[in-house]
Amino acid sequence: MLPYGRQSIDGDDVRAVCEVLNGDWLTTGPQVAAFEAELARWTGGVPCVSVTSGTAALHTAYVAAGLGPGDEVVTSPLTFVATSAIATLLGAEVVFADVEPDTANLDPAAAHAATTARTKVVTAVDYAGHPADYDALRKVTDAAGALLVADAAHAIGSRYRDRPVGSLADLTTFSFFPTKTVTTAEGGAVAATDPRRLEAAARFRNHGLVRDRALLRHPDEGGWHQEVVTFGLNYRLPDVLCALGVNQLRRLPAFRARRAALAARYDAALGGLDGLAIPARRAYADPAWHLYPVRVRGGRRREVYDRMRAAGIGVQVNYIPAYWHPAYEDLGYRRGMCPHAEAYYAEQLSLPLYPGLTDADQDRVLAELLAILT
């Protein structure tokens, strides 16, 4: 079975992990700082805090944004449910706004229409690695007095108007799950343009602990003394995983290039094919493609999915609209709220895309797909 996504691990990755395993630090050591510094090279110098997953990154970012009961979050429904679920768990009300029909990214006009006096955060999702329209979304958040958050789980290495993802929003979250462009096995990070929010994120991922004597309420307790100044969680990403992340980030240019080459081959083979639409790409975007999402027309998506899977091609669907999940249905959300998102979901299919996919593998994918559709 060819998967739709897969990690790329080489000997240098293995050696980096083994060096940590043979050293003195397994967690909260020098590789954490090294990973965060390497990641900041890809965010245009915006500093980052590493955490244990992309979901933990969303939680940390929303806490750093001060999100809580009574607040509203405007976001896209075409995302893994964690983007909205964390806001719901924090007591905020999630307002789903529709997407652009071609890119599947949050539509700035729809986001603007969804904002109210209670809107605290607007969260864009860089679907498939294609950046959202951040200039237009910034106008929305400025008008609403809200913060702009980027869920860039798909988009590390992507650029918008020649600016790197990670520098475009007030807070940006990343995921390093194995199918993502860069992996730490499990892991995530938050990039913050405001030092206060960066500090809030750093404290939250470590129980809210403070050790700096100048910041302690009772500084004369003793050299061992530390204080919890705000409540937090243990979202610390271990040194052993950060070592993997450092090496993976150094391979990111090669990962981007191979994904771009594979996407170009798909474009050439599938562009103009009746019954299928290839991914849109706006002039302002330089995507680091995480997914290659096609749209199967004519109500044939389920047929194509089943036949491709039966042929050993691990296509995937990304994603069921978040408010279709029973947890949101039970809160009163109903189908039909975001017709563009629902129409996109009804046709969407992710074809295999990862650096280890060979040209021969891709030719097999294309042969099976073309045999079904032509």
Write the CA distances from 349 to 209, 318, 370, integer angstroms. 44, 7, 14
Please report which residue ranges of the chain form alpha helices under DSSP H: 11-21, 30-40, 54-64, 82-89, 108-114, 134-144, 195-204, 239-250, 252-270, 301-310, 326-329, 339-347, 359-373
Half-sphere exposure of 71 (CA within 13 A, CB side): 24
Does 180 participate in catalysis according to the annotation?
yes
Report yes or no: 111 and 90 within 8 Å, Cβ to Cβ.
no
The number of helices, as runs of H, and strands, as runs of E, in the chain is 13, 15
Would residue 317 be called left, alpha or beta, if left means φ above 0 and alpha means ψ between -120 and 50 degrees? Answer: beta
Residues β-bridged to residue 172 = 150, 191
Rg for the chain (alpha carbons), in Å?
A: 21
CA distance 87 to 43: 24
The DSSP 8-state label assigned to residue 236 in this structure reads P
Report yes or no: 114 and 341 within 8 Å, Cβ to Cβ.
no
CA distance 2 to 356: 11
Q: Determine phi and psi for 198, rounding to 5 degrees.
A: -60, -45
In a 3-state reduction of DSSP, which class is residue 23? Answer: coil
Q: What angle do CA 13, 38, 148 make, to 5 degrees?
A: 125
One of 59, 154, 159, 180 is an active-site residue; which one?
Answer: 180
Residues β-bridged to residue 295 = 277, 348
- Residues noted as catalytic: 180
